[in-house]
Structure 1
Amino acid sequence: MIRHLLALALAGTAFASVSSNASISLWQGDFHLTSEVACACQQLNNAHSSEVLPPSSANYTAERTRFWHIRSDLSPACIFQPSNADEVAEGVKDPVAMQRPFPGSNNIDGGVLVTLNKLREYKVHNDTIEVGPGMKWIDVIRALDPHGRAAIGGRLKTIGVPGLTLIGGVHYFINKYGFAMDNVERYDVVLGNGTQVIADSSTNRDLFWALNGGAANFGLVTKFTLRTHRIPQVSTTIQMFDESGVYDFIDAAVAMVRIDDSDPVAAGGVLTLQYNATTKVVSALLMGVQEGVSRPPSQFANFTAIPGPVKMHNVTTMRQWTEDKESPNQMFRIAFAKHSIVPNTDRLYETYQAWKKGIDTLSDVQGIYPTFVINLCPTGAMRAGRNTSVGNTWGLPLEPTIWWQFSTGWDLAQDDLRITAWSRQLSESLHEENRQLSLAREHVYMGDAGEWQDAFATFPKENVRRLKEIRDAVDPEGVFRRLNWGGFKLGD
């Protein structure tokens, strides 16, 4: 019965859309079937009583709000917490969908929420690490720290492993090592019929390729085997700039994304612009990380040359750097919009100015917290993906791009429609102008996509066709298409 009543949605995604756990929403398909949902919860309780939380249980509230986004705070009929892959296969036998940063995509009202938080076992090998989907990236970083090694994964400590990896996964070091998906050696997967399989470069090779950026349309991953890299120390920089330095800040970002050395130094950063709609104060922030010892980090010289009130350089470890990088769990409501552009300083500065002007129209919104994000996607990131055993599903050309993003937070539900409509309208109009200028690129990264954006529509058409063929082969009954309520879906 459970299989025919419920669908799944897995939590965990990229830098801006941060998740604090791994979970699945099981949807009954018809919100009126409350008695059947109760029956499903009872069946789970009969089989796994110690792992099912009813609304009256002590830990229920903590589990149902273990999401960074307040708009994901819903009320499931019960919460199932399997302890191992066998229990996942026995109790679910359904597909998994990636969390998206908007309401209901990783939680459920009146359905069954399955959390994978208990699947936290790991094993460190010489150049790989096996990790469970209940782990956060700080858990992986801590496990590798004594070995002087690093995995390519989340940049904030509480980002979940599965969501970020399956949608691609942005890390500081993508210019040299590629995305998180390009550093997976093996997936252990529960398929829609409950079968447990492995997918790697020699076994279920098509499924392995599909999981490299195709999100969770194919199976529920119960273990990731990740490649690791010898990086015992890193050089870090935190720099802040006022509004007079914004143009140079953007220009430095453009220069950095264009670097394409034959023997690259792994380096990257989080680049954000914030605007206080009340005080009209603008600030720009760079949080940069580079492999090896260099003080100040050499790859950020263009930023260091810009005058600014804060210049902090350090040599440390990935663990020490990440330990204090908390995600904004349950802090505010939020909307995203994401688009790609070829590196062009003047146009990005015009985009920033348009964003700033747009924020002024929202100054009356309580708790308005706007951020303009500049994500660097250098050529080396695509090259690293192509050089793996099967490549990845994105099919991006060998060229540098910048993924610009609106991340807008606010306090009150009454402003949801206003903010999401504003974010969509402004970002789309700017993207269309970029098209007319032959500067736009169409790829949309799932981790920071708006709720109205279709990331799969920006994949190469032949890759989408292949993804659907693989999905149909591993899920011939269409469990994912019929029962999975939300997330990044391939469609029919």
Structure 2
Amino acid sequence: MISRMQFMALALLGLASASPNILDSLRGQTITAVLGGLDLTAEAACACKLLLNSYSDMILFPTSANYTAETKLFWDIRSDLSPACIFQPDKADEVADGIKILSGCDAQFAVRGGGHMNYPGSNNIDGGVLITLNKLNSYKVENDTIDVGPGMTWYDVYAALDPHGRIAIGGRLKTIGVPGLTLIGGVHYFINKYGFAMDNVVSYDIVLGNGTQVTANDTTNQDLFWALKGGANNFGLVTKFTLKTYSIPLISTTIQTFNESGIYDLVKATCDLASLDDADPIAAGSIITIQYNATTKAASGSILGVQEGISNPPSQFANFSAIPGPIKLNNVTTLKQWGSDKVTPNQMFRVMFSHKTIVPDADRLYSIYQAWRAAVDQIADVQGLYPTFVMNTVAAGAARVGQTNGIGNVWGLKVEPTIWWQFSTGWDLAQDDLRVTAWSRQLTEHLHGINRKLGLARDHIYMGDAGEWQDPFASFPEANVERMRAIRSAYDPSGTFSRLNWGGFKLGF
């Protein structure tokens, strides 16, 4: 018996043999695979046909051997969709040709870098074309920069720089991809001194919506250069990032865990870390989380801390070290070695993020934690529930870099310490998607509303911590958003990366 996916492929291949005139007559109509009920548009068929004609060894269809594996190279199970075909280029020229074909066919498409963005549709698509960037993974190390392909993970970057005793400012976990994190801003351990990942890009090679390839840096296409610093996937597809690197051959690390009795002190130490703002800062940052088991009612906290240079234990985390806890592991190592086991495995669960910003206030942040914990109990019956409370510290120095480097970024952050508090919720079943989303959204907005009344809230929304129901661009300065829209109109007048590549956080109109 022919499977649903096989029938979809046969329908697509049948259209691929049709004449251009037939394809033109079908454009805008929907072709339904009768047996499976799957929809295949003429636009998608047009694009897959032309891509197959030009790049037969780079196209996967639903019946292809590797199709299923490629549609599951995502962190969040909710991103597992069924594209009409998958295009796997390995050169920038092929990307450019592919975008030209997609634009010419008016076909919807998605782009996958590392596959970590847990916004359904941001990096995969049902019935359209998926462009995967895995094969664009070449790099070139220069004296103080590195050219990086968008198919690389941040661990790949750290491994490439390790023999040179240098690092780049990128992701904190091994499996996070270069393009997604860099284009949305990018949080690294060392943002307090060196700024965000976006602040450390010195040049982008980018394919525009009409297939044209351009370079954007501080002397060429300067407006696009600025817009790409936090503007996400609204302007084109980046095929090369040139990143600053820093001579940091060794780092000092700490891994600490805390019992429930130490959680308030953990929150207080987090506020202290965010508030550090020395004239000559030591680069240091962390991943700070609190886990809660709704079945056993047990809570525990943890910190993964990293500091530049040699300090054992790392001096910037002394406030955490003073808190009693079962695990206190300090080490001096390299960023490559540190990152080798910091994996976020794909396909573990469905994932929902929700996030807001607050100025450091230990009592209020602890109250947020307590409210979250009580609210988790209300959805304790959700199968596979895996709730985590996250606190990301953003020192004043992180914002200062973007205001003093002569380039800036689209965020326009005020130079002040903040903490991005976040609910990260995992679960098993699609039937609970709406329930978990509504729960997370309502709780986040309620607590943020209280913070506003107390004068502690800030508006900034970071795309990497946000839920798909949030609008990060609404938290940017209005003048910056209008400028980005003007830049988008100039570089992508046909709206290829707005109408056709619609997933992810978009500027709107």
Change (3 A) 1:97 1:87: closer
Q: Which amino acid aligns with 1:432?
A: G
In structure 2, which of residues 310, 313, 323 is the aligned counterpart of residue 293 of structure 1? 310
Deviation at 1:198, TM superposition (A): 0.3
2:396 and 2:415 in contact (8 A); partners too = yes
1:97 and 1:216 in contact (8 A); partners too = no
1:373 and 1:404 in contact (8 A); partners too = yes
Q: How many residues align?
A: 465
In structure 1, which of residues 239, 258, 277 is the aligned counterpart of residue 294 of structure 2? 277
Deviation at 1:35, TM superposition (A): 4.2
The answer to whether structure 1 residue 136 and structure 2 residue 153 are counterparts is yes
1:75 corresponds in structure 2 to 82
Deviation at 1:31, TM superposition (A): 5.9
In structure 1, which of residues 116, 123, 146 is the aligned counterpart of residue 133 of structure 2? 116
2:157 and 2:464 map into 1 onto residues whose CA distance is 20
2:60 corresponds in structure 1 to 53
After superposition, the C-alpha distances for 1:393-446 in whole angstroms (9 at most, x for unaligned) are 100111000000000001111111111100000010000000011110000000
2:185 and 2:147 map into 1 onto residues whose CA distance is 18
Q: TM-score, normalised by structure 1?
A: 0.92
Which SS does the other structure have where 1:370 is aligned? strand
Which gives a bigger RCO, structure 1 or 2 (Cα 8 Å, sep 6+)? 1
Q: TM-score, normalised by structure 2?
A: 0.89
1:241 and 1:285 in contact (8 A); partners too = yes
2:401 and 2:214 map into 1 onto residues whose CA distance is 27
1:6 corresponds in structure 2 to none
Which SS does the other structure have where 1:429 is aligned? helix
2:92 corresponds in structure 1 to 85
1:160 and 1:187 map into 2 onto residues whose CA distance is 16
1:264 corresponds in structure 2 to 281
Q: CA RMSD in A?
A: 1.5
2:96 and 2:207 in contact (8 A); partners too = yes
The answer to whether structure 1 residue 353 and structure 2 residue 360 are counterparts is no
2:353 and 2:200 map into 1 onto residues whose CA distance is 27
Which SS does the other structure have where 1:371 is aligned? strand
1:201 and 1:389 in contact (8 A); partners too = no
In structure 2, which of residues 390, 400, 408 is the aligned counterpart of residue 383 of structure 1? 400
Percent sequence identity is 68
Deviation at 1:388, TM superposition (A): 2.0
1:354 and 1:53 map into 2 onto residues whose CA distance is 47
In structure 1, which of residues 246, 268, 276 is the aligned counterpart of residue 263 of structure 2? 246
Q: Which amino acid aligns with 1:289?
A: V
Q: Which amino acid aligns with 1:128?
A: T
After superposition, the C-alpha distances for 1:3-43 in whole angstroms (9 at most, x for unaligned) are xxxxxxxxxxxxxxxxxxxxxxxxx9876553442332121
1:102 and 1:30 map into 2 onto residues whose CA distance is 28
Which SS does the other structure have where 2:464 is aligned? helix
After superposition, the C-alpha distances for 1:431-481 in whole angstroms (9 at most, x for unaligned) are 000001111000000011111100000000010011111111111222223
Q: Which amino acid aligns with 1:70?
A: I
In structure 1, which of residues 39, 50, 70 is the aligned counterpart of residue 46 of structure 2? 39
2:330 and 2:29 map into 1 onto residues whose CA distance is 55
2:481 corresponds in structure 1 to 464
The answer to whether structure 1 residue 336 and structure 2 residue 343 are counterparts is no
1:410 and 1:388 map into 2 onto residues whose CA distance is 42
- Where in structure 2 are the equivalents of 1:411-430 lying within 5 Å? 411-430=428-447
After superposition, the C-alpha distances for 1:358-393 in whole angstroms (9 at most, x for unaligned) are 001111111100000000010000111222231111
Larger Rg over CA atoms: 2
2:254 and 2:305 in contact (8 A); partners too = yes
Deviation at 1:92, TM superposition (A): 1.4
The answer to whether structure 1 residue 369 and structure 2 residue 386 are counterparts is yes
2:201 corresponds in structure 1 to 184
Mind listing any 5+ residue stretches in structure 1 that lack a counterpart? 1-27
The answer to whether structure 1 residue 64 and structure 2 residue 81 are counterparts is no
2:106 corresponds in structure 1 to none
In structure 2, which of residues 221, 244, 265 is the aligned counterpart of residue 204 of structure 1? 221
Change (3 A) 1:440 1:268: same
Which SS does the other structure have where 1:447 is aligned? coil
1:481 and 1:29 map into 2 onto residues whose CA distance is 18
1:443 and 1:141 map into 2 onto residues whose CA distance is 29
1:250 and 1:146 map into 2 onto residues whose CA distance is 37
